[in-house]
A and B are shown apart, each in its own frame.
Chain A
Amino acid sequence: MKYYDRLSIELSRPGRKGFGLREAPAGALDCIPAYLRRESAPKLPELSEPDVVRHYTMLSQMNFGVDTGFYPLGSCTMKYNPKINEEAATALEGVHPLQKAHKGAAAVAEGLDKALAEITGMSHFTFQPCAGAHGELTGLMIIKEWHLRRGDTARTKVIVPDSAHGTNPASAAVCGFHVVEVKSTPEGLVDTEVLKSIVGPDVAAIMLTNPNTLGLFEKDIKEIASIVHDCGGLLYYDGANMNPLLGAVRPGDMGFDVMHLNLHKTFSTPHGGGGPGSGPVGVRKGLEEIADSVKVSGFHGNFGVMLRAYAYILSLGRENVPMAGRLATLAANYIKECLKDCYKLPIDTVCKHEFVFDGLLEPNGVSTLDVAKRLLDYGFHAPTIYFPLLFHQAIMIEPTETESLETLDAFIEVMRRIAEEAKEDPELLHTAPHNTPIGRPDETTAARNPILHW
């Protein structure tokens, strides 16, 4: 990667043009009175087409994606994004969302709904939500509506484990619920005794990620489900960590009533630098009509992302779906076992698709941030760091099923080398990265004196 320091506006020259449109008739806008017109034209860049292509190509070369290299970002499931999915994504490119009775669109929605319902054990999915967090919010709206339709207005609380993704409490708050945090046991699981003490007629739901953000399966899930169901609450499944269960375990079978999937994680659609994703929400039998009644985005959700996910499921088919989750789990356990003599493993047990180290075993002043930055020098993306909040030096590693053993071994070797470097030359790590287009940025100044546009 090489440093390239231009913004499009800096390449702009008056009179250059990059568009190919016919001339407009003179006075075409005269029908719009002056008081409705802006005073001066917006200062958009003026570039030729080759200028534009080269500028964005140069920008792309300062970026790292799954196609560039290993991306073990915990809880993000950075698996390979198959290219046939991209072909599938353009199938309905010219179709207006208000075109009724569109057979192709209906076939996609029905086929994908059926497949996801089978994979998760739910009854029906709504595809309105555009992302995982959006799915959480939608799922909570469905839960709230269900309680309201039963005439139960007392359910104002949502229980969230302290290991939960930050979006869980945030979604609950946006949906007008009070958030009650339930602490984890020393083994990193939901404390069922504590749970029993906080459930009651004011609890609308519990939000669970299973496996949780430590990559641990909530083995008491049956008891958790009955504690919550017995008090009249519902179980919400945060599907961000669905990947290890793909083809192995179904949330519906575990007693979850409402869930979302991240099609951009478990179902291989590209993350696009932070979207577009898709967060379809599945519900158990009896909640289908409510799910379809909650309108949370403009039209039919991110249909292009649905097409990609559908292509992925059709490619895997019933023959290969059962391998996906198992291979992801295998890769995570393999890395964990190969590194736990250099990195602190606070909970040493079998993990699912991801696991969490709490920094180096012999830190010598080297922080998790230093390790993460040094990984960039070796051509790997860093794991998720400082999350979950249960450990101060959290390093959360999720390899996925689409990495070869050679890649995993190369990563392990580099992680071991970094552990050695920490002992011998900690300064090298404090000042990392050294081989990237830029070094560590001054984030404090960025936040104190924000410069947010040119």
Chain B
Amino acid sequence: MSKIIEGLLYSESHEWVKLDGNVAIVGVTDFAQAEMGDITYVDFPAEEDEFKAGDEFGALESVKASSELYTPVSGRVIAINKDLEDAPEKINEDAFAAWIVKIEMSDKSELTNLLSAAAYSQIIN
């Protein structure tokens, strides 16, 4: 049974979003990390890159798979989690602690398109 945290927002492509004012902190869900298996590499965007909601912004790699990451909200990347560069296994250890990027949102109204913990729970079950 995958872990889901109340109070976060979720995308159908298995990203989670935590809000910090106008900044969206984005990671992948526990369900996604379990599906991937041992994650070996995080392909990050560059800081300052701009994306529209639904754009591919990077990828996770495991030994035998690769999974694209899609940004749940539009905006500009203001930080990437450099800890994951040398230790991608942190996503496997605790997917909700291992954020991947921070995005300064350009349109907060997009948040209404995301899922609640309950709605996301239905998708993965």
Contacts and interface: CB of A to CB of B under 8 A. Distances in A.
Contact between A and B in the complex (any CB pair below 8 Å): yes
Interface of A: 386, 443-444, 446-448
A327 to B, nearest CB: 34
B43 interface: no
B41 A448 contact: yes
Interface string B59-72: 00111100000000
B125 to A, nearest CB: 19
The 10 closest A-B pairs by CB, nearest first: A447-B40, A444-B38, A443-B63, A448-B40, A447-B63, A444-B63, A444-B40, A448-B88, A447-B41, A448-B89
Given A444-B40, A444-B62, A448-B40, 5 more contacts: A444-B63, A447-B63, A448-B38, A448-B88, A448-B89
Nearest to B89: A448
A155 to B, nearest CB: 25
Interface centre among B63, B88, B89 (most CB of A within 10 A): B63
Interface string B82-125: 00000011000000000000000000000000000000000000
A386 B64 contact: yes
A205 to B, nearest CB: 25
Contacts of B40: 444, 447-448
A277 B61 CA distance: 29
A386 B64 CA distance: 10
A446 B40 CA distance: 9
A443 B38 CA distance: 10
A448 to B, nearest CB: 5
Contacts of B38: 444, 448
Interface residues of B, number: 9
A269 B40 CA distance: 36
9 contacts: A443-B63, A444-B38, A444-B40, A447-B40, A447-B41, A447-B62, A447-B63, A448-B38, A448-B41
Interface in B1-49: 38, 40-41
Contacts of A446: 63
A447 B61 CA distance: 9
Contacts of A443: 63
A393 to B, nearest CB: 14
A255 B39 CA distance: 45
A448 B42 CA distance: 10
B62 to A, nearest CB: 8
A386 B89 CA distance: 24
A294 B91 CA distance: 46
A444 B62 CA distance: 8
Contacts of B64: 386
Contacts of B62: 444, 447
A111 B64 CA distance: 43
A374 to B, nearest CB: 19
B80 to A, nearest CB: 18
A321 B41 CA distance: 48
Nearest to B87: A448
A192 B63 CA distance: 35
A7 to B, nearest CB: 24
A386 B61 CA distance: 17
Nearest to A444: B38
A447 B37 CA distance: 13
Nearest to A447: B40
B85 to A, nearest CB: 11
A387 to B, nearest CB: 11
Nearest to A443: B63
A446 B61 CA distance: 13
A446 B62 CA distance: 11
B17 to A, nearest CB: 27
A374 B112 CA distance: 51
B88 to A, nearest CB: 7
Nearest to B40: A447
A88 B38 CA distance: 48
A444 B89 CA distance: 10
A448 B64 CA distance: 13
Interface centre among A386, A446, A448 (most CB of B within 10 A): A448
A386 B62 CA distance: 15
Nearest to A448: B40
Contacts of B89: 448
Nearest to A446: B63
A448 B38 CA distance: 9
Nearest to B37: A444
Contacts of B88: 448
Nearest to B88: A448
A399 to B, nearest CB: 25
B115 to A, nearest CB: 26
A368 to B, nearest CB: 12
A82 B120 CA distance: 58
A447 B38 CA distance: 10
A163 to B, nearest CB: 18
A386 B41 CA distance: 22
Contacts of A448: 38, 40-41, 88-89
A109 to B, nearest CB: 40
Interface centre among A443, A444, A446 (most CB of B within 10 A): A444
A444 to B, nearest CB: 4
